[in-house]
Amino acid sequence: MPGSGEVAEKLVPLLQNYKSAMVRGRGSFAVGQMLEEAFQWASSLEASYKTLYPRRLPSPRDIREGEGRW
Task: List, as one string, the DSSP characters of 6-58.
Answer: HHHHHHHHHHHH-SEEEETTTEEEE--SSHHHHHHHHHHHHHHHHHHHHHHSP
pLDDT per position as a tens digit, 52-68 = 776 655 666 655 555 54
Specify the pTM.
0.65
pLDDT per position as a tens digit, 12-51 = 999 999 999 988 888 899 999 999 999 999 999 999 988 8
What does the pLDDT read at residue 58?
A: 61
Element (H, E) at 19: none
Residues 11, 25: Cα–Cα separation, whole Å: 14
pLDDT per position as a tens digit, 46-56 = 999 888 776 65
